[in-house]
Every structure is written in C-alpha cells, then in structure tokens.
Amino acid sequence: KERDFMEGIFKFWGATDAKSKEAFPIDKFWDGRVRSYLGTRYDAGKNVYDMDFSMKLKERATLLDSREYATWRQTGVGFEVRDGVYDTPNRTLCSGIIKMIGDSKRLARGYWGDIVCSPYLTHGIYSPLKSMYEVRNRINVRTASEVAEHNLLSLIYQINSGHKYNKPPKPDRFSFAGNDKGEPTSATLEEVAEEDEEEKEEEEKKDDDKTVEITQKVENANISGGRRKKLTLMELDKPKSNVTVRLLPLGTMDQLPKKENLLKLFDLIYLSSSQVSYFTPELTALLRDDANLLIENVKFITPLTKDQEKGYLPKIRDMATKAKCELLGSNDEMNNNFHLSFHRVD
C-alpha cells in the first residue's frame, strides 16, 4: 500500500501535462494557509512579519534580512538566486492530510509545511566565511539566499570530491555600487600576454583530453550480460562508498527497539523537536556505548512563547535522565546551539 502511494507521488512530481500543473496551485494554497494562521490580523500581515522577525529572529539569525523574510512570509518564494519569474510550483512540497470537509473526513492535498520560521534556517544563517557577515550602512551585504547557495555548493562539492570547497562566493549585491569606502568602481582593462594565452589553451586542451579519456572509460565499461553501465566521475576516480540509505515505512520508530539485531548498532540518532516523545530508554538501547544522540533546539521556532522555550531544556533533561543519557555542554551553550547533544552513559 505504501509503495503504491510512493509511486503515485513520483508520477505526480514528474507529470508535465497542463492538468497536473493546475492540480497544485501553490499561490492559492499558500494564501489560504496565511489567512488561516493570521485570522483577523491578515490585513496587517506586514506588521506581523516585522514583529516576528524583530522579536524572535533578528538577534538569533543575524544574516537574515527583514525584507527577505517578509517576502517569503507573504509569497512563499524563498530563494531568488537568479533573474526570472518564479511562477512554476514546486510539486515536491505538495502533501496530503486527513481533515474534516463537511461531515466527513477526506484527504486534502495542499501545502502543509512551514509558513512561519522560514527555509533559511537550515543553510542560510551561518557561514564559516567572515566575508558573509559584512555589514554596510547597517545592512547585510549578503542575503540569506546567497549564503545558503554558497553553503550548499560547498556541501555538494565536498561530498562528490572529498576536498574542501575553496572557491570564493559570488559578488555581493553592492559590488557594482562602489568599494568599501563608498567610492564608485570602474571597469579596468587587463593586458593579457601572449604566453598567458598559450598556457590557457594548453590547460583547455588537457581538460578536453581528460574528458575524452573518461568518455572512453565509460563507453568501454561493461557489466555481465553485455549491457553498458553508465559510470560517473566519482565512480571512476574514487572507490565505492559503503554507505547505504534505507527508507523505512511509517510507524517504524515504535518497532525498531523490538529488533534484537538493531540493539547497540547505531553511532548517531537525530530527533527533531516534534519527535522528542521518542527519546526513551527503548530508543537509546539502539545506540552504541560511545554513541551520541542529537535533538533539535527550539530557538528558531517563532510561535513558541518565552516560557515554552525556557521549559524545553529542563523537559529534555528529565527525559535524558530516564533514558540514561548525559547532556554535553552547559545550559548556556545548549541554548545557543542548533541542537542539543547527548551521550549515552551506563
């Protein structure tokens, strides 16, 4: 049954006919969610967005811009990394829930994700580069979208190559307005020596030869049965990884501790803030003796009150004691981190 659901989802994502495109009018779904959430405050939405940003996110996510955040809250468009019209719905965000429609329960398709906290929190509010934190005239030089784009490129590059991503980020939004002193910049002509051009041509030729060599390897790579196997650059240049991804069905969390072959098997378990109810002795029995367990912090969940935020860590501490786990770090360190770290102790 779940496989049939998965097949239906993938077909919906890949459909290209006009009827399928109309099946997910994200702008209407988004506006409906916003109206339902704000209620009578809908007409004052901009003020609500500004208050949420100022009271909850400004000090905690310094790279996030208020206008960028307000635009996402109003339209649902979070990452405008290039010039263009963003009018094609992202159907991977579509999901269904059971809700009361009239007198009966029905499956309602729509957008049921986040409309308050923002998608920038994952990759757009932190960077190891100091240049990303530059401020001019009390305005961030970089937007959260630009930070997220650079961080994702770095992650993808490091996963594929195994090396650190050293390319500089794209020019910031003030690059064409002037220099650090506010003086206008002007284009300059660079004299290129004939030797430099020859070196460049030789490098391009080497790249072309390498491409031809890799293409020949791919064409000559066969598997049993005479079928050709399509190899990627990563497969050609690196040994195969021993990582396996296993997708588990719904309701698996309650069943995992009952399997003896999984006891003391895992090196790391991560729980979101909405799944902390699974932080039990049964779950920690799956961890190795030296393993860690991470739980999402709630510092960026804007709808929570200050009392709810303060009560979160003591609650998790009590659960950790029952589960025979110990908090790593002080309370102040944990309150400022993205997640809470626990270590299993026997």
Q: Which of 120-129, 161-170, 211-220 has the least mean pLDDT?
A: 211-220
Q: Is the pLDDT of residue 7 over 50?
A: yes
CA distances from 223 to 1, 160, 232 (A): 34, 24, 15
Please tell me the predicted confidence (pLDDT) of residue 189. 45
Averaging pLDDT over each range in 135-139, 170-174, 288-292, 316-320, which range is the top one? 316-320
Q: Which two tokens stand for residue 300?
A: 């960026």
Please tell me the predicted confidence (pLDDT) of residue 236. 41
Query: What is the per-residue pLDDT across 216-252, written as a single tens digit (0 to 9) for each?
Result: 444 444 443 444 444 444 444 454 566 777 777 777 8
Confidence band of 171 (pLDDT split at 50, 70, 90): confident
Mean confidence (pLDDT) of the chain: 79
Q: Taken in order 28, 30, 36, 39, is the CA torsion positive or negative?
A: negative
Contacts of 341 (CB under 8 A, 6+ apart): 292, 293, 294, 327, 328, 329, 334
Instruction: Report the alpha-carbon distance of residue 156 to residue 162 in Å, rounded.
Output: 10
Query: What is the per-residue pLDDT across 186-227, written as a single tens digit (0 to 9) for each?
Result: 444 445 455 555 565 666 555 545 444 444 444 444 443 444
